[in-house]
């Protein structure tokens, strides 16, 4: 059984709302989403660091800091950006056996 992701397309919705509000379409900013990495007491720390470097292109130092944050605090926001990319990153982390979620940034 594979992973299924369902999304609703609202590509034109932002422009329509902006037009009604009298704002230029280019001024509408998409809401950012976080990729949250959850602590995993089973996966080796080296594997987590390697995954963060590969998926996000982070340096060893940044990947290690994020890994330690997740380890100590139970979770770490490892990336913030557009929703589609966040979902893609979340799925990529899953290929390394890591648990992560996508959440709207606050």
pLDDT digits (tens, 9 = 90+) for 1-48: 334 333 333 344 444 444 555 555 555 568 999 999 999 999 999 999
What is the Cα–Cα distance from 34 to 85, expressed in whole angstroms?
10
In a domain, 21, yes or no: no
Q: Per-residue pLDDT for 57 more than 60?
A: yes
Domain carrying residue 66: 31-104
Count of domains observed in the chain: 1
Angle of CA points 26, 32, 36, to nearest 5°: 165
Query: Residue 44: inside a domain, yes or no?
Result: yes
The answer to whether residue 93 sits within a structural domain is yes
> What is the spatial distance between Cα 15 and Cα 49, in angstroms, rounded to a whole number?
40
Domain for residue 56, yes or no? yes
């Amino acid at each position: 059984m594979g992973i299924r992701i369902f999304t609703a397309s609202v590509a034109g919705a932002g422009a329509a709302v902006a037009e009604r509000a009298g704002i230029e379409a280019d001024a509408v900013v998409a809401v950012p989403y976080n990729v949250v990495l959850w602590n995993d007491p089973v996966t080796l720390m080296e594997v987590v660091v390697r995954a963060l470097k590969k998926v996000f292109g982070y340096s060893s130092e940044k990947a290690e800091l994020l890994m330690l944050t997740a380890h100590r605090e139970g979770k770490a926001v490892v990336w913030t950006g557009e929703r589609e990319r966040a979902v893609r990153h979340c799925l990529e982390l899953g290929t390394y056996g890591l648990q992560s979620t996508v959440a709207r940034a606050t």
